[in-house]
Amino acid sequence: MGVLVFIHRTVGGDRLRRSQQEVVYNVGLCICLFDITKLEDAYVFPGDGASHTKVHFRYVVFHPFLDEILIGKIKGCSPEGVHVSLGFFDDILLPPESLQQPAKFDEAEQVWVWEYETEEGAHDLYMDTGEEIRFRVVDESFVDTSPTGPSSAEAASSSEELPKKEAPYTLVGSISEPGLGLLSWWTSS
Amino acid sequence: MEVKDANSALLSNYEVFQLLTDLKEQRKESGKNKHSSGQQNLNTITYETLKYISKTPCRHQSPEIVREFLTAMKSHKLTKAEKLQLLNHRPMTAVEIQLMVEESEERLTEEQIEALLHTVTSILPAGPEAEQKKNTNDDVTMDEEDPA
């Protein structure tokens, strides 16, 4: 799940540190600096008191590959599906169609349930908050959250409600295969 | 900022674990109490990632173990991504192997899957979670033996 990314960036002062706990568009979630491979000459530009140095560095980034298997914890359930967290990364969704079938959403308990078929009839398996869950990464989405110009602000104000704040990087997972889902479903005691 | 190579190399959980552990030691030694908010944010992600990774089987791995594992893997003809998943997860059942090896029914016989499992579990040490479960089971057995 860890990937080494080669980046170069112009920095003034210690902006290198401040800006690196973030999602880089189409790259992944920055975890920590790996190394600095090159420091170019420092320049001072007219009208700008800071010194600018081009830095080449490599960053460790969280970016699971397509179909990778990961283990996380259930954060909660909603009609949209099961929300999973890894602690350092929270935006993982298992949509209803990707769950072990048949599945139903229990409105009262606000939890997704696998209606597991046995000879004695359906045995309900609840996807409770806090449970450890093994899933496959089937899709990802990067949203460019950098500030945009006035035209997009107009579009936003014309809609009736405030646009939903989107996470810059989200993963979509699936648990529809044998071995996937709550770890407790598959361990033999 | 310009990204020059978004995929320079794949890192195993163990490599990331080593990096973050070293980083944590460095921070401790430098004894900096003054944190800019930016540095605090970085610490949160680093801390949470280290916390997550410490609960996986990479916790007890070492460079020698990883090297031994990769050598043993050569005969099994798996892709880099598949070997990485086996290294990170240390699967203990055939079902897990089938999840991590693409088209395993076509590429591996039952015996080969068993051999793969044996290689994985004998070379890679058990993860912290598996150890914990083992200890819990031992405790339960002891309770059953106790007449009181």
Q: Which residues pair with A6 in a beta bridge?
A: A58, B5
Asked if A68's CB is within 8 angstroms of B1's CB, the reply is no
- The beta-carbon neighbor of B89 closest among A58, A69, A180 is A69
Of the partner residues B8, B15, B100, the one whose CB lies closest to the CB of residue A69: B100
What band does A11 get if pLDDT is binned at 50, 70 and 90?
very low
Per residue in A104-159, pLDDT tens? 999 999 999 999 988 888 899 999 999 999 999 999 999 887 776 555 444 444 44
Whether residue A69 contacts residue B97, with contact meaning beta carbons closer than 8 Å, is answered with no
pLDDT higher at B91 or A26: B91
- Which among A93-97, B15-19, B57-61 has the top mean pLDDT? A93-97
Q: Write down the H helix ranges in chain A.
A: 15-18, 150-158, 183-186
Residue type, B11: L
Give me chain B's average pLDDT, please: 83
Chain B residues with CB-CB distance to A under 8 A?
Answer: 1-13, 15-16, 19-20, 23, 36, 38-39, 41-42, 44-46, 48-49, 51-52, 56, 81, 85, 88-89, 93, 95-96, 98-100, 102
On the question of a cis peptide bond just before residue A168, with omega within 30 degrees of 0, the verdict is no
Which of A2, A18, A136 is opposite residue B11, by nearest beta carbon?
A2
